[in-house]
Amino acid sequence: MTKTRQNIIDSAIKLFNEKGIVNVRLQTIANDVGISIGNLAYHFYSKKAIVIEIDSQLGEKLSPLLNKQNQIQYFIDFDNHLANYYYLLSAYSFYFLDILELQRAYPIIYSKRRKYMLKMIKRIHKWILINKSMGKLKKEVFEDQYLNTSKNIWLSITFWMTKEQVLNETRSEEAFKARLWTHVIPMFTKKGFMEYEAMILPNLIYKGEVQKSNTLYNYN
């Protein structure tokens, strides 16, 4: 990709994040890049073409996270996985904030996104099952509890940016990860909490995002 073409993409992402897809015109992008509208049209004939290219680049970054060969197993693997998602949420916030606009105006892109969602839920569910088999999570109390927890984690990831904007909260990777871990903490066995306390909690406590006491958890 040429430098000008990538500059257009980078500018579009920045403007989409700031203003939303629907509020950004090609002229706005051209002005931000510092080129004429004709020069921009030479590289991208429409805003839709720009959105398609952004989706393609985002897909390249999402693929390693969703690749079943790239297995997440331990708690630290999941925590690092969450950090990668947070980077994408921050870098492509419009992709998560403008979900209805994508569905209405870009149905093919939305269809791809739905496949990403299903893969994400499946990977989280598999991680939960792996840790259950290692004795770090309790048995399910009701049918499909683990699957529903996986969907709740996906929901929190997908709508994190919306929550921040609606509640006017300060953006923080530590707050993001701490909130997602709260979906899993009630399922911890003593072994699970010991790993969490040793590998995950110290950094979150340092950032002041979670409680220190383990008396909140029932290991029975």
- Distance between CA 26 and CA 31 in Å, rounded? 9
Whether residue 191 sits in one domain with residue 138 = yes
pLDDT at 66: 87
Per-residue pLDDT of the chain (220 residues; tens, 9 = 90+): 799 999 999 999 999 999 999 999 999 999 999 999 999 999 999 999 999 999 999 999 988 888 876 778 999 999 999 999 999 999 999 998 888 888 888 888 888 888 899 999 999 999 999 999 999 999 999 999 999 999 999 999 999 988 888 888 778 899 899 999 999 999 999 999 999 999 998 877 655 555 444 444 555 5
Residue 39 belongs to a domain with what CATH number?
1.10.10.60
Whether residue 34 sits in one domain with residue 3 = yes
List alpha helices for the chain, DSSP H.
3-19, 26-33, 37-43, 47-66, 75-91, 93-97, 99-105, 107-133, 145-158, 160-167, 173-181, 190-199, 201-206
pLDDT at 209: 53
Whether residue 149 sits in one domain with residue 119 = yes
pLDDT at 220: 52
Residue 111 belongs to a domain with what CATH number?
1.10.357.10
Containing structural domain, residue 160:
54-206
Whether residue 99 sits in one domain with residue 10 = no
- Distance between CA 87 and CA 114 in Å, rounded? 20
Q: How far is CA 56 from CA 20, 115, 210, 220, in A?
A: 19, 14, 36, 47
For the chain, the domain total comes to: 2
Whether residue 75 sits in one domain with residue 33 = no
CA angle 9, 11, 12 (to 5 degrees): 65
- Is residue 137 included in any domain, yes or no? yes
What is the CB neighbour count within 10 angstroms for residue 107? 10
